[in-house]
């Protein structure tokens, strides 16, 4: 049995009349990359802040690395890394000195120079942190989140401002951390990022969990019907089918070879996600 790092039951949080978190259950295993998806204002940050120990819950229970995050102390905090949505405030120092400075807060930090290399800032190590570009600044935030060698890493929109290559490099870094046993809780609005990285995604809408599954299977995606398309007599043809392989082999037989402009399309994670969020809105509006 894999070790459970985060366990929450019935989490609740209200801000005035706003029920930001309305009863959330979660179970996240060691080494898992677990991604929250959901529209603006869905309750993701509030949930994550409760798990990080930065926000009090109004109801429910939570265990994170074996402790209640609402009561845990310094030793527990040193085992948790956080990359906030906002840039971390840093002193007016060179990148290397900023990372060394933060490493000093932890009992068993990584080598700061190795972390700087890992996030791709080796060539900027002597530059002032405030002179970095937006994407480079975000890499520094990631460096500060991992320098303490956390067992559990929270990443809130970590790749905002990254160029496509930097984003792919970052994904590699996160996979490596998870492969070495770090549990990663990722909040992102990039569906592609969730699909690439997450072992499981959790869709939150209006303060509740709407679905938890692998990106490939979310919302019945793996078994959803496929659309097979091709060109015939100058016209685009399409069929919706449970058996795309059979349709394609029939087409291959009929065309005796290459089928013109053949395509097979299953719903993307984005299509499934948008459908789920729309259904939630419609159901709640109907109930209101």
Ligand X SMILES: Nc1ncnc2c1ncn2[C@@H]1O[C@H](COP(=O)(O)OP(=O)(O)OP(=O)(O)O)[C@@H](O)[C@H]1O
- Contact residues toward ligand X (CB under 6 A) are 15, 18, 20, 38, 40-46
Q: What is the smallest separation between the CB atom of 273 and ligand X, expressed in angstroms?
A: 13
Nearer CB in complex with ligand X: 22/94: 22
Closest residue to ligand X, based on beta-carbon distance: 45
Q: What is the smallest separation between the CB atom of 24 and ligand X, expressed in angstroms?
A: 11
The torsion angle over the Cα atoms of residues 113, 116, 117 and 119, rounded to 10 degrees, is 160
Q: What is the smallest separation between the CB atom of 220 and ligand X, expressed in angstroms?
A: 24
Please give, one letter per residue, the 3-state secondary structure of 146-187.
HCCCCCEEEEECCCCCCCHHHHHHHHHHHHHHHHCCCEEEEE
**Does residue 64 sit in helix, strand or coil?**
strand
**Does residue 99 sit in helix, strand or coil?**
helix
Nearer CB in complex with ligand X: 109/193: 193
Nearer CB in complex with ligand X: 44/57: 44
Q: What is the smallest separation between the CB atom of 33 and ligand X, expressed in angstroms?
A: 19
Give the whole-angstrom CA distance, residue 233 versus residue 190: 39
Q: Which helix (H) or strand (E) holds 95?
A: helix 95-103
Nearer CB in complex with ligand X: 38/109: 38
Give the whole-angstrom CA distance, residue 37 versus residue 43: 10
Nearer CB in complex with ligand X: 86/223: 86
Q: What is the smallest separation between the CB atom of 45 and ligand X, expressed in angstroms?
A: 3
Nearer CB in complex with ligand X: 16/164: 16
Contacts of 182 (CB under 8 A, 6+ apart): 31, 150, 151, 152, 153
146: Cα separation from own chain's centroid? 16
Q: What is the smallest separation between the CB atom of 26 and ligand X, expressed in angstroms?
A: 15
């Amino acid at each position: 049995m894999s070790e459970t790092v985060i366990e929450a039951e019935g989490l609740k949080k209200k801000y005035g009349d706003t029920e930001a978190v309305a009863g959330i259950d979660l179970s996240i295993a060691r080494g898992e990359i677990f991604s929250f998806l959901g529209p603006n204002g869905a309750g993701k940050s509030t949930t994550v802040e409760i798990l990080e120990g930065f926000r009090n819950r109004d109801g429910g229970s939570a265990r994170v690395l074996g402790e209640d995050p609402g009561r845990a102390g310094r030793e527990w905090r040193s085992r948790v890394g956080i990359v906030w949505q906002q840039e971390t405030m840093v002193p007016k120092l060179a990148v290397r000195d900023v990372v060394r400075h933060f490493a000093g807060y932890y009992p068993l930090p990584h080598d700061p120079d190795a972390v700087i290399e890992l996030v791709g800032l080796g060539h900027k190590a002597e530059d002032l942190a405030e002179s970095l570009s937006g994407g480079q600044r975000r890499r520094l935030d990631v460096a500060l989140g991992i320098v303490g060698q956390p067992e559990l890493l929270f990443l809130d929109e970590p790749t905002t401002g990254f160029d496509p290559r930097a984003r792919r490099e970052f994904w590699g870094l996160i996979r490596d951390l998870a492969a070495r046993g770090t549990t990663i809780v990722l909040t992102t609005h990039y569906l592609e990022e969730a699909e690439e990285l997450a072992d499981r995604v959790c869709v939150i809408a209006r303060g509740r969990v709407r679905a938890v599954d692998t990106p490939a299977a979310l919302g019945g995606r793996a078994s959803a019907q496929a659309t097979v398309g091709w060109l015939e007599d100058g016209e685009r043809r399409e069929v919706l089918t449970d058996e795309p392989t059979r349709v394609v082999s029939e087409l291959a037989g009929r065309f005796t070879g290459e089928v013109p402009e053949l395509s097979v399309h299953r719903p993307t994670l984005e299509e499934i996600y948008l459908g789920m969020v729309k259904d939630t809105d419609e159901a709640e509006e109907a109930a209101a």
